[in-house]
């Protein structure tokens, strides 16, 4: 959530920055500032009324002590009027504050200067590419056919149990899935991230805290009777562990990792590009989250990018990194790098990680601050990244490592799997 003071001080700059997202925020910013002025005016009047009421209360006590009963009773009548005025002003102030907050919830984060202008994924900038695209055997299969051939993932059984987008992993497919989770967690903890196991359901405050609500409400599964949401990513519960906290500058950075299943409705997703593991309603993901001093957050972002690079190098998967343009940038992000692995059998790039800096956007919603060296309380910067999302990594492994006789297992995963070949 943007801060009103920042909007007031940087209005024109922010308008230009949000234009990268294809948003004209001029009218909304004017409304924000007008409502905030109403709130501030009501607050100033309320403060005056309360000060006057307190002054009268002190004077009434003195008047009764000196026997000036008539004057004391006159002032008592005025305090009654002031009490009614204060009630009305307080209601006005609270109404304005609520209107202001709801309006601020509709505004996305301000893109970083590095974010290119653009309308959709076609305008993203490729900033890095690594790995050779393998030459597959003649008649190479996409992963959903390989999964059926080797009986390691059953998509139809998932439909029977739940519906489309809920696959069942079997035998070596399940073991490979578990191996990837353990490998990712081990890589993250060795890099200094503390592992957490967190709830897979969150309350509404958590959804608002990290920015999924109200923006992504239609994409989240909602348990209405309990008013809880199934998590779309571990970022939500992990980051919300620190909601409302005041940290000390010496405690920064805070680094966390966690594995969770993730649940997304993915409404409106159809076509060949969502076949198999390409887009699911339930999938596994290992996440990394950082809480950083604002002065260090972009150095930390670069470090997270290098960390994901290292994982993909060990898996020996060809990948590229994209800097997302304004039109493709997530609602809460100031800057995002997407990692995509090349699926040789499908002849297309598959997104397998997003690494983002949210700057103070989430922290303002979370009321997550730190006490700096100057003794002042300031908002932290929050960051998160997938390290990694499993479905498309698994798809890339199955397709890129296939042979005429079966599927090889990446060398780094063999100790985790207990086997080196699927046949």
Binding-site residues for L-serine, in ranges, read 233, 264, 287, 384
The tokens for 209 are: 């805290």
Q: What is the pLDDT of residue 270?
A: 55
**pLDDT at residue 272, as a whole number:** 55
- Residue 249's pLDDT is what? 97
Question: Which residues does 116 contact at the CB level (< 8 Å), separation at least 6?
Answer: 20, 123, 124, 125, 323, 325, 326
Can you say how many angstroms the Cα of residue 421 is from the centroid of all Cα atoms in its chain? 37
Just give the CATH number of 4-106: 1.10.287.40
pLDDT at residue 185 in the model: 98
For residue 285, the model assigns a pLDDT of: 98
Q: pLDDT value at position 104? A: 96
Q: Which residues pair with 194 in a beta bridge?
A: 256
Contact 308, 302 (CB under 8 A): no
**How far apart, in whole angstroms, are the C-alpha atoms of residue 304 and residue 338?**
12
**Annotated binding-site residue numbers:** 233, 264-266, 287, 351-354, 384
Phi, psi of 361, rounded to the nearest 5 degrees? -60, -50
Residues annotated within the binding site for ATP are 264-266, 351-354
Token digits of residue 81: 């009027």
- Per-residue confidence of the chain (423 residues) as pLDDT tens digits? 999 999 999 999 999 999 999 999 999 999 999 999 999 999 899 888 888 877 877 777 777 778 777 777 777 777 777 888 888 898 999 999 999 999 999 999 999 999 999 999 999 999 999 999 999 999 999 999 999 999 999 999 999 999 999 999 999 999 999 999 999 999 999 999 999 999 999 999 999 999 999 988 889 999 999 999 999 999 999 999 999 999 999 999 999 999 999 999 986 555 556 789 999 999 999 999 999 999 999 999 999 999 999 999 999 999 999 999 999 999 999 999 999 999 988 999 999 999 999 999 999 999 999 999 999 999 999 999 999 999 999 999 999 999 999 999 999 999 999 999 999
Q: Cα(200)–Cα(18) distance, rounded to whole angstroms?
A: 33
The CATH number of 121-422 is: 3.30.930.10
CA atoms lying within 13 Å on the CB side of residue 353: 29
Distance CA 387, CA 355 (A): 9
Cα separation, 383 vs 410, in Å, equals 29
What per-residue confidence (pLDDT) applies to 68? 76
Buried b (16+ CB within 10 A) or exposed e, 373-387: eeeeeebbbbbbbbb
Beta bridge partners of 247: 370
pLDDT of residue 268: 54
Q: Which residue has the tokens 């779309």?
A: 232
Angle at 201 between CA 200 and CA 204, to 5 degrees: 145
Which segments of 259-333 does DSSP mark as H helices, in order? 297-315
What is the residue extent of each domain of the chain? 4-106, 121-422
């Amino acid at each position: 959530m943007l801060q009103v003071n920042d909007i007031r001080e940087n209005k024109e700059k922010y308008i230009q920055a949000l234009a990268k997202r294809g948003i004209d925020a001029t009218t909304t910013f004017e409304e924000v500032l007008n409502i905030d002025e109403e709130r501030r005016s009501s607050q100033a009047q309320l403060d005056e009324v309360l000060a006057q009421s307190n002054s009268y209360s002190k004077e009434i006590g003195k008047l009764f002590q000196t026997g000036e009963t008539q004057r004391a009773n006159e002032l008592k009548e005025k305090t009654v009027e002031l009490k009614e005025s204060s009630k009305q002003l307080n209601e006005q102030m609270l109404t304005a504050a609520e209107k202001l907050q709801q309006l601020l919830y509709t505004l996305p984060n301000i893109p970083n200067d590095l974010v290119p202008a653009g309308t959709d994924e076609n305008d993203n900038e490729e900033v890095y590419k690594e790995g050779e695209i393998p030459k597959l055997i003649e008649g190479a299969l996409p992963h959903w056919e390989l999964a059926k051939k080797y009986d390691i993932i059953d998509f139809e059984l998932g439909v029977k149990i739940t519906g489309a987008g809920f696959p069942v992993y079997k035998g070596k497919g399940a073991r490979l899935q578990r191996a990837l989770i353990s490998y990712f967690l081990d890589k993250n903890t060795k890099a200094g991230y503390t592992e957490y196991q967190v709830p897979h359901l969150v309350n509404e405050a958590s959804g608002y805290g990290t920015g999924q609500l109200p923006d992504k409400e239609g994409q989240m599964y909602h348990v209405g009777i309990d008013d809880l949401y199934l998590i779309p990513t571990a970022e939500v519960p992990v980051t919300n562990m620190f909601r409302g906290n005041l940290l000390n500058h010496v405690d920064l950075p805070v680094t966390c990792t966690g594995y969770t299943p993730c649940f997304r409705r993915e409404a409106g997703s159809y076509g060949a590009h969502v076949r198999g593991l390409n887009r699911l309603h339930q999938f596994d993901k290992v996440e990394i989250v950082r809480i950083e001093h604002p002065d260090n957050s972009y150095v930390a972002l670069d470090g997270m990018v290098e960390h994901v690079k290292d994982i993909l190098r060990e898996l020996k998967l060809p990948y590229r990194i994209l800097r997302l343009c304004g039109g493709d940038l997530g609602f809460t992000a100031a800057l995002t790098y997407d990692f995509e692995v090349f699926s040789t059998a499908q002849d297309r790039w598959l997104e397998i990680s997003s690494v983002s800096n949210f700057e103070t956007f989430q922290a303002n919603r979370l009321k997550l601050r730190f006490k700096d060296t100057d003794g002042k309380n300031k908002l932290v910067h929050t960051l998160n990244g997938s390290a990694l999302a499993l479905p498309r990594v698994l798809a890339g492994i199955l397709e890129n490592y296939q042979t005429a006789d079966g599927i090889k297992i990446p060398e780094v995963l063999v100790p985790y799997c207990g086997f080196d070949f699927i046949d």
